[in-house]
Structure 1
Amino acid sequence: MAIEQLHASESVTEGHPDKLCDIVAASILDEAIIASEPFGVWPHVAMEVTAKGGPHGGTLLLACEMKLVEGVNLDYANIARGVIRRLGYTDPSYCFFDGMEELIVRVTEQSEDIDRGVSQKLTGAGDQGIMWGAAFAENERLMPTTLVLAHELTDAYTDAFHSQKFPWLRPDGKSQIILLYENGKPKKVLSVVMAASHSSDVNHGQVEEDIFRHIIVPVLDARGFGISRDQVIIDGAGSWTDFGPRADAGTTNRKIQVDTYGTIVQNGGGGLCGKDPTKADLFGAIGARHLAKTIVVHGLATQISINVAYAIGRPKPLMQKVHPAGTTSIAPIEQLQTIVDAADLSADGIINDLNLFQPIYARAAVGGFFGREIFPWEQINRENNGYRGTRSV
């Protein structure tokens, strides 16, 4: 008898208020990495961003603990304005745009207590925390199909916005998708929900028709899924003309499930955006994902979930274990645990072997940190089983 399950995921466009803040934070991190590279000393960054629309272009707050080598200076406000401009917020009528008058920068030195923990001979974790990594043999991305589709819907939306395919389309949008799984494999799409911000000179019916025909149907068809019009909800409350930070305040790291695995994998609760690689939230999640993907690539599991935990100042994890409830094993589960136990998931092991100090985090901040091989942690060496932490595979 077939075992049926429902799984759901959502994604947001780069112009969503929270995602806008994530991208600003990650862009500042990228610029800090670029500026620091000639000095051979990597920056320590913990950037938080909050956005709210209003009179005179709204308000953007940049709040950060930062350690930069002497001689490195960043124009935080200019970086932020450039991101906002690129994302499409250039019209003063949006009540949030790149020419805003109130852009507040509050940057302090990273505390000596934290710096002491991460600046040892062996890099210690920048904080305590619990992280998860997973991989799924469902598609070429080794990610949950629900999340892949949700991201591809918002990617198509963003492409349509920037190309002006629909002149009425605005940058703020969301997707949500529910799939029926049968015996652990995605079988069919049950529903799609999309939110599409737009100008006031287009009627709701036109928005529904264009989003359905030119975004939803092509994305699902490319993955081999069909959809009928009655399975789709587009702007369920009617016309959506009040959008972006004017309608909803944005802040960093509120879209953790969008950035990671959707609803299928448990979450440690720490966000990934605007944090340099010494932060355990980032390197721990990346290391666990790389290890999980390596195990699936080598045919030892069709699905695996790995849980790690760190303490501030300590270089090695306090725990690294296979989570049985999130794992469909081909090899014995004990063998998988032996592999995970042998993996080097220390801060240095992950940061150095995966070359994490690269200016790639603005790209990761939209569309998910996992599942795209443009990132070093997604690249698995199939000949020698990846980085030294997974040689035992």
Structure 2
Amino acid sequence: MRSSYLFTSESVSEGHPDKVADQISDAIVDLFLSKDPEARIACETLTTTQLVVLAGEIRGKGIMDEAGNWAPGVKDEVEKAVRDTVKRIGYEQDGFHWESFRFENNLHPQSAHIAQGVDASGNKDEGAGDQGIMFGYAANDTPDLMPATLYYSHKILEQMAADRHSGKAPFLEPDAKSQVTLRYEGSKPVAATAIVVSTQHGKGYDEGEKEAELHAYVKSVVADVIPAALLSDETVYHINPTGSFEIGGPDGDAGVTGRKIIVDTYGGASPHGGGAFSGKDPTKVDRSAAYITRYLAKNIVAAGLAQRVTIQLAYAIGVSKPLSLYVDTHGTGTVGDDVIEAAIGKIEKLGGLTPRGIRTHLGLNKPIYQKTAAYGHFGRKAEGDFFPWERTDLVDDLKAAVA
């Protein structure tokens, strides 16, 4: 590891067009899982000027039959979930308004060929919903064991959204992006060298006193979020560097589910397998295996077995057991990486890391997903049934397994 370097991560707000799409897709996942915990869902969303389009495959009791007929009232519930999501985010603009945008629902029954490969039958356990590789990561940069650059990028936008919703910052509109660059010495962040925030704003906040008010507000949020020890007179701020940002959200740029996978995960600090999360039920290992690898990584660091760790799992569609498990502690481990790999295999409660084992251990067959779809899937508090992959309840099992 280099002794001194700069690293940068970005985040986008709940009002970013791609994040609007993610939240809509996960609102549909939650709606269908609330009706049938074993529902199969692959819901993609497109957002653009005054238009939302859903597409994808679904299957579930009380939702849609094999011929594509909706259960009574469900089609209306789908549209309501979509409009309620956009309303909650705060879009009431001429170019994108929750009440008046055109809506297209193109969801249809899941392919029978996918179903036969994935479903449990006879002596065959439930298989993975697709092939692929998934990565999990944890580092002791922050109390939540996340890369500090991404953690602070998320927190800046979360605070701005909270202030917009509360009325504290009425000049803010929903669309925003942030970016944080930190200088690291060894593995620890020591200084914030650059902060970038671009936020959609009300009319007139791109010049004069109103622009100065907006800039001062953003700097106050940064000061609240980033530790004072990391900020200095040498920190460079770029606030709305293009000048005006009145037109935003889906009216300013089309949004599609699954285009912010690095924002969703580790801000570039870890590899990514390429699969998105939102819109997918937990039989899809793109989602559930990414959650279990984060869970394992976080518990490994919390157990003191490493300061930083990356984990990879790989699956084949229709096959229950993972094809491979890889652990890399980047030279920070207190035991060998192979020892940790073997330890994970010894922990029976993980169910062999099969799709069913993952869903059972983490309790994933619940309508918990819309909250994940903005400000990151990881580094969030495990409150109630939400974000169970953030628990650190595997620490004792790991310590015992490596002893």
**Equivalent residues in 2 for 1:250-269 (5 A)?**
250-269=255-274
Partner of 2:120: 120
**Equivalent residues in 2 for 1:31-46 (5 A)?**
31-37=31-37, 42-46=38-42
Tell me, yes or no, if structure 1 residue 305 matches structure 2 residue 310: yes
**Equivalent residues in 2 for 1:92-131 (5 A)?**
93=94, 95-121=95-121, 122-131=125-134
| Shift in Å, 1:287 | 1.2
Distance 1:2 1:128 in 2: 35
**Equivalent residues in 2 for 1:167-182 (5 A)?**
167-182=170-185
| Shift in Å, 1:109 | 0.6
Partner of 2:54: 62
The question of whether the paired residues in 2 share the 8 Å contact of 1:127 and 1:279 is answered with yes
| Shift in Å, 1:99 | 1.9
The partner residue of 2:219 within 213, 222, 227 is 213
| Shift in Å, 1:323 | 3.2
Which SS does the other structure have where 2:231 is aligned? coil
Partner of 2:68: none
Partner of 1:353: 361
Distance 2:401 2:357 in 1: 15
| Shift in Å, 1:230 | 5.8
Deviations 1:306-335 (A, max 9, x none): 1111100000111111136x4521212331
Partner of 2:341: 337
Distance 1:217 1:180 in 2: 17
Tell me, yes or no, if structure 1 residue 377 matches structure 2 residue 383: no
**TM-aligned CA distance change 1:327 to 1:28, over 3 Å:** farther
Which SS does the other structure have where 1:291 is aligned? helix
Distance 1:278 1:2 in 2: 39
Partner of 1:51: 47
Share of identical aligned residues, percent? Answer: 34
**TM-aligned CA distance change 1:252 to 1:159, over 3 Å:** same
| Shift in Å, 1:211 | 3.2
**Equivalent residues in 2 for 1:187-202 (5 A)?**
187-202=190-205
Distance 1:185 1:340 in 2: 27
The question of whether the paired residues in 2 share the 8 Å contact of 1:322 and 1:340 is answered with no
Distance 2:40 2:232 in 1: 47
**Equivalent residues in 2 for 1:148-187 (5 A)?**
148-187=151-190
Partner of 2:67: none
| Shift in Å, 1:78 | 1.1
* Paired residue total: 378
1:85 aligned partner, one-letter code: K
**TM-aligned CA distance change 1:119 to 1:9, over 3 Å:** same
Partner of 2:375: 367
Deviations 1:173-201 (A, max 9, x none): 01001111111111111100000111123
| Shift in Å, 1:383 | 6.5
Partner of 2:14: 14
2:269 aligned partner, one-letter code: I
1:10 aligned partner, one-letter code: E
| Shift in Å, 1:226 | 1.4
The question of whether the paired residues in 2 share the 8 Å contact of 1:173 and 1:197 is answered with yes
Deviations 1:71-111 (A, max 9, x none): 663521111000001100123x2x11112342000011111
1:359 aligned partner, one-letter code: P
The question of whether the paired residues in 1 share the 8 Å contact of 2:27 and 2:370 is answered with yes
Tell me, yes or no, if structure 1 residue 249 matches structure 2 residue 241: no
* Farther off after superposition, 224-233 or 169-178: 224-233
Which SS does the other structure have where 2:178 is aligned? strand
For structure 2, which runs of at least 5 residues remain unmatched after alignment?
A: 64-70
